[in-house]
Structure 1
């Protein structure tokens, strides 16, 4: 019994420090009075040890109860965290999918935009060239009309001269 051994050692310590007085007889044994005081001190000490042990057990039980509640709360929080993650997961995956698709479309748009700009530039240059050629054509048609008009005038004039010359011959 370790508690009894500890009690004996503590009793001896108390006696040596003078907290428990006792008179030893010459043969080294305790007198009845001293023996009674020793028993009383020992029983008081045992009672206090038992009270301390009882309180220790109560504290231990309360700690165990608290640990049980903490473990239960930890489990509940883990379940809540998992539920939150599953709630956020589908939206997160959808958002990531849409973002990736946007990135792909952006990569496809860049060269198409460059092609559009190049084609637009070519179109403007072609339109400008077309307009210049059309303007040149209009000018040439106008010049042609002038030339045809002058030619007709000259031919009519020549015809009139020839006509006059024929009349003079007759």
Structure 2
């Protein structure tokens, strides 16, 4: 419908322009009965020109009015689209937040597991090292303890030998002492 109005308006504009060219042309130009000898438009042509101009302006105003209406409709639609876009964004956020807590929790647990695994590796190595050191130390302790027990046993044997030796010496001393007393009595 708008294209029909524009075509009608442009035809009237062409007619108006042709009439204007006729009136502004040289006076000696011979045209149809619309030009007088002095080059002025006749009243009939003038009224027709004013009518065409008025019609043209009315059509232009109508086109402008329609253009503004369409522009307002477009703005309304853009406003609705922006509102719908905001609503869709909110819905998307809500959907993501529904899935997110589980993802976040799983992600956090996985990160903690990875962190603990990184900590466990050197601790495991330290534990193995300490366990080896412990076994070595325990073995050394047991060896020294066995040696101590052997030495204590040896000491006890020596102590018995010393005691036996002391007893024998005391006995010998007593015998010698008796011998000396017997010499004295004689």
What TM-score results when the alignment is normalised by the length of structure 2?
0.47
Does 2:47 correspond to 1:32?
A: no
Match of 1:84 among 67, 77, 95: 95
Deviates more, 1:117-126 or 1:44-53: 117-126
- Shift in CA distance, 24/63, structure 1 to aligned 2, threshold 3 Å: farther
The secondary structure found in structure 2 opposite 1:30 is coil
Q: Which runs of 5+ in 1 are unaligned?
A: 1-9, 130-170
**Secondary structure of 1:79's partner?**
helix
Question: Structure 2 stretches of 5 or more lacking a match?
Answer: 1-12, 25-30, 140-186
| Secondary structure at the counterpart of residue 109 of structure 1 | helix
1:106 is aligned to 2:145: no
Q: CA deviation at 1:63?
A: 0.7
How many residues are treated as equivalent by the alignment? Answer: 119
2:69 pairs with one of 58, 66, 88: 58
Structure 1 residues 105 and 57: alpha-carbon distance in aligned structure 2, compared to 1, 3 A threshold: same
Corresponding residue to 2:56 among 45, 52, 61: 45
Change in Cα spacing, 1:118 to 1:78, as seen in structure 2 (3 Å) is same
In structure 2, C-alpha distance between the alignment counterparts of 1:61 and 1:24, rounded to whole Å: 50
Residue 23 in structure 1 maps to residue 35 in structure 2: yes
Query: Which has the bigger relative contact order, CA under 8 A and spacing at least 6?
Result: 2
Q: Which residue of 2 aligns with 1:69?
A: 80
Distance (Å, rounded) in 2 between the aligned partners of 1:17 and 1:60: 36
* Separation (CA, whole Å) in 1 of partners of 2:36 and 2:73: 47
State whether structure 2 residue 104 is matched by structure 1 residue 93: yes
User: In the alignment, is the contact (CA less than 8 A) between 1:25 and 1:31 conserved in 2?
Assistant: no
Q: Does the 8 Å contact 2:23/2:41 carry over to 1?
A: no
* TM-score for the superposition, normalised by structure 1: 0.51
Which digits, 9 at most, give the CA deviation of each residue in 1:78-118, with x for residues without a partner?
Answer: 21132134224422431232123212320232023324554
Distance 1:66 1:109, change over 3 A: same
Change in 2 beyond 3 A, CA 1:120/1:17: farther
1:146-161 → structure 2 map (5 Å cutoff): none
SS of equivalent residue, structure 2 residue 118:
helix
1:133-144 correspondence to structure 2 within 5 Å: none
CA distance in 2 between counterparts of 1:33 and 1:72 reads 58
